[in-house]
Structure 1
Amino acid sequence: MTPTLVAILPLLNLALGLLLAAWTLTFLARIVLTWYPQVDLSKGFWPLLAWPTESILGVTRRVVSPIGGVDVTPVIWVGLLSLLRELLVGQQGLLSLVLLRAQSLAQITA
């Protein structure tokens, strides 16, 4: 592996982990907001929660209809994002293992 790649991998691992964690928290906030249907997502700071999630939730709502009148699509996305985060940057995640392998190879060649 190139030294540049070894230098970039930790930053990529951290950035991807933080991005997926932030997106998961945004969907968790959307779950809480489903308990308060009177909240207008177009006013105040609520668009900050609605903007990154609504396009994905809208598509998912076409596939998964509400169960008992409850929108379950944010719950689905929290599960999918948690799984993706674990598979990529978790302790045994793909990117984490590549990073460990690159660091061990860098130590051997140094």
Structure 2
Amino acid sequence: MKTVTSFEGYVPRIVQKFYCNIHEDMADPLSPFYQKVYVRGHIYDFSFLIIADFLNIPMVELDEFEKDYAIDNVVSKLLGDVTVLLDDSYALKSCELTYKYSGLHKIAQHKWWPTAH
């Protein structure tokens, strides 16, 4: 069986078809489509291990980044000096952000986040 590493070059149309043909059972270990993709009549092995090997990226067992911040500090930075009591039902609204983060939020919405229109 071929793998995605046997391809050479970049063919945009095949990549578009590849994105359309990722099966929803690709992540289910019990599925026959587990870590496989269908492109132009062929099924290829496709997993994070193959991608990492192709790109020469070392695999790590655990996330090496340690979180050294508290949620209160993050909220304080985003909202400025506004104090908010956080609980599970609280949703941060974009209108509560500081001018800086409100502007960044609008740019991200317009330029980077996918939308339906």
Shorter-chain TM-score: which interval? under 0.3
Structure possessing the higher radius of gyration over alpha carbons = 2
Q: In proportion to residue count, which structure has more strand? A: 2
Q: More helix per residue: 1 or 2?
A: 1
